[in-house]
Chains A and B, each alone.
Chain A
Amino acid sequence: EDQVTQSPEALRLQEGESSSLNCSYTVSGLRGLFWYRQDPGKGPEFLFTLYSAGEEKEKERLKATLTKKESFLHITAPKPEDSATYLCAVRYGGATNKLIFGTGTLLAVQP
């Protein structure tokens, strides 16, 4: 049962071409939605945490938003160095602290 679904699986952009990545979730009692960036052969790098619908966070060319069913990671005017896999994860429920990850979106930005 998929609780966190990311789309698209892969995205190829030209440098400067803005786009959005989607993360939809079906869990109840959301206690945090997390975005990570992962480069090949490395551990995930923390980007953002969102806690409630309507919340937005920004960092350089990235902006994350949250609704009651999904989150978007908007990439404005991407550069080749933004190429990576972007992972979405949720924490939900009462006692657990584990993160449930989606399968990620592989982003390639061509110069």
Chain B
Amino acid sequence: DTGVSQDPRHKITKRGQNVTFRCDPISEHNRLYWYRQTLGQGPEFLTYFQNEAQLEKSRLLSDRFSAERPKGSFSTLEIQRTEQGDSAMYLCASSPLNTVAEQYFGPGTRLTVT
């Protein structure tokens, strides 16, 4: 399978714990994006990378959230001190360098904070 992959697919954690998600983009894609989606809503942009550089962050991305893409390949999204409001589907997408290219999404990681 050459699409975007995410791991884990599901994560249940207790409030206050830290969680980390991984995204592997399509191999030739330079750009990688993180979105968050809650029930009945469209995805909301969190941040994006071009190669290893984090070029844009949403104000939705509080200090408890951090994302990395250390070698310009896979990316990780960490949430520290999780809150119940963090429960959502976390989606990763990738695209080639073309500035108007469509983004291809992975299957998502469903986070439930109890």
Chain A positions near chain B (C-beta within 8 angstroms): 4, 31-32, 34, 36, 41-46, 49, 51, 87, 89, 91, 96-104
Contacts and interface: CB of A to CB of B under 8 A. Distances in A.
B41 interface: yes
A25 to B, nearest CB: 13
Contact of A98 (B4, B33, B106): B33
Interface in B25-77: 31, 33, 35, 40-45, 48, 55-56, 58
A98 B41 contact: no
Q: Chain A CB within 10 Å — which of B31, B42, B104 has the most?
A: B42
Contacts of A99: 33, 35, 43, 45, 103
Interface of B: 4, 31, 33, 35, 40-45, 48, 55-56, 58, 91, 93, 95, 99-100, 102-108, 110
Contacts of B58: 98
A99 B56 CA distance: 12
B104 A42 contact: no
B99 A41 contact: no
20 contacts: A32-B100, A32-B102, A34-B102, A34-B103, A41-B108, A41-B110, A43-B91, A43-B106, A46-B103, A49-B100, A87-B42, A89-B42, A97-B31, A97-B55, A98-B48, A99-B33, A99-B43, A101-B42, A103-B41, A103-B42
